[in-house]
Amino acid sequence: MHYLERELTELIQVDKNLFDYLDAHLFDGIWFWNLEQPEDEWLSPGFWRTLGYDPEEKTHHSANWQAVIHPEDLEVARRDLELHCAFDNHPYDQIVRFTHKNGDTVWVRCRGVAIRDSQGNAVRMLGIHTEISRLKQIEDRYKKIISTMDRVYADLRIALEESEQLFESMPDAVLQVDHGGNIIKANTQASLLFGYTTKELIEMTVEDLVPESSRAAHFNYRTAYQKSPEVREMGGDAVNLMAQTRSGKVLYVDIRLSPIQTKYGSNTIAVIRDVTERKKLQQELERQKQDEKKLFEMSITDSLTGLYNRGYFMELAERAFKQAGRYNHGLCVMMIDIDDFKIINDNFGHAEGDRALTQIGSLLKSSIRETDVVGRIGGEEFAIYLPEASLDQGVILADKILFNIEDARSNSLVKEGAGACPSVSIGLAVKQSDDDSLSELLYRADQQLYKAKANGKARVVY
């Protein structure tokens, strides 16, 4: 096994939820890149199979995929990587072209996230590949249709009623509807879309082509439109318009309404485009965004307490420390440790220990200000940093935490033993002008925590 594959496997083994998530949602390959030795990159076999290669033919070196990516896209990927490594809020997400073994172009969406060390430096990249060649084909097809529609619309205004050939040549379904909602003309595409013959369509109303649950509302909308007819685009990404076929299948559609005057009175031309595939694609992309959000949250969150984990807390605290130094703002840090936690685990089991950790984590989160940040940084150890806070403000918050915990203890039916709320000790320190690093500030807070433990526990020392 390649060492990068082994390292990733060990990382996933730490968090079972992460493994389950990746196992359920990976698409066409996962990759793991050593940014400290950029020639080393592990790619899962699915990526090479997507490109028509036997994975056994390929070594785990970044040069292999760089040899089959389009040169222009390689430059884009390199630029995005540099920006993502420099600014963690810049996404590493691009659509690139690879050359299949048979010479075809394969479109792939490549996404990834940097894994950073305690200094915030990107040392690894973890990402996934998703083949979207089919989606690109659909996109190209819709661009061609829209281009055709634009050309047709210009001619439609000239003489739609007298131009049967133009009416039939429309690439989308077209209905001509009178003031009462009756269909008086339908093209072949409308027949194909809805499953009725054109003869059947001209004996129907437009409400007959709407799902039954929406027909009353559609009647009201149509009546209101006819009082003030105008060219109107309906549907789009933000609105779901639905039509129903003869078989009962419900379609998502976009509709363009254009009023026309005929010798029979005011009519409306409705151009109806089936966008069901596009809607499904949008829903899939939205689901992917939600999946990525969940993956990110899992990577920064302690799974037991729901608080930030040590890595992400330290990353945020480092930013706050640098910002406090840059703008000469205050910064207060407190280290918090559950008293006698080993006794709880030894006497009542780890399940009770987990319950105590969860309870304290919840009490800490409910006690802090909106601008404060709390994280679980060790077994029974928590930390909080208070941006733009003085020592006095830190003491006030620490006293509030102790009060809330004591209040929970006194109001609990269980005062001692399993189920009881444990007490905590708190060490508090404030940033000094001569502090060169966050570690110095955390060290002082840790020393105060030791004093709190030594002086009887369940107290704050600063």
**pLDDT band at 291, cuts 50/70/90?**
confident
- Report the pLDDT value the prediction gives residue 301, as an integer from 0 to 100: 95
Distance between CA 329 and CA 352 in Å, rounded?
Answer: 41
In DSSP notation, 275-293 reads -HHHHHHHHHHHHHHHHHH
In order of 216, 218, 227, 265, the CA distances from 222 in angstroms are 10, 6, 9, 16
Residues facing 336 on adjacent strands: 382, 426
Helices 391-411 and 350-367: crossing angle, nearest 10°?
A: 130
> Nearest 5 degrees, angle CA 400-CA 405-CA 411?
120
Contact 4, 60 (CB under 8 A): yes
**pLDDT band at 457, cuts 50/70/90?**
very high
- Report the pLDDT value the prediction gives residue 18, as an integer from 0 to 100: 64
Q: Coil, helix or strand for 304?
A: coil
pLDDT in tens, 113-171: 999 999 999 999 999 899 999 888 888 888 888 888 877 766 566 555 566 667 787 88
- Report the pLDDT value the prediction gives residue 236, as an integer from 0 to 100: 73
pLDDT in tens, 224-263: 998 889 999 888 766 788 999 999 999 999 999 999 988 8
Domain ranges of the chain: 3-131, 137-279, 301-461
pLDDT in tens, 353-404: 999 999 999 999 999 999 999 999 999 999 999 999 999 999 999 999 999 9
Query: One fold for both 3-131 and 301-461?
Result: no
Quickly list H helices, 350-390: 350-367
- Report the pLDDT value the prediction gives residue 13, as an integer from 0 to 100: 74
- Report the pLDDT value the prediction gives residue 362, as an integer from 0 to 100: 96
What fold is seen in the domain 301-461?
Alpha-Beta Plaits (3.30.70)
Q: Is the pLDDT of residue 330 over 90?
A: yes
CATH assignment of 137-279, given 3.40.50.800, 3.40.50.1000, 3.30.450.20, 3.90.1150.10? Answer: 3.30.450.20
Distance between CA 415 and CA 390 in Å, rounded?
Answer: 35
Q: Is the pLDDT of residue 23 over 60?
A: no
Name the CATH superfamily housing domain 3-131: PAS domain (3.30.450.20)
Kindly state the tokens that stand for 193: 């879309």
- Report the pLDDT value the prediction gives residue 258, as an integer from 0 to 100: 93
**pLDDT band at 16, cuts 50/70/90?**
low
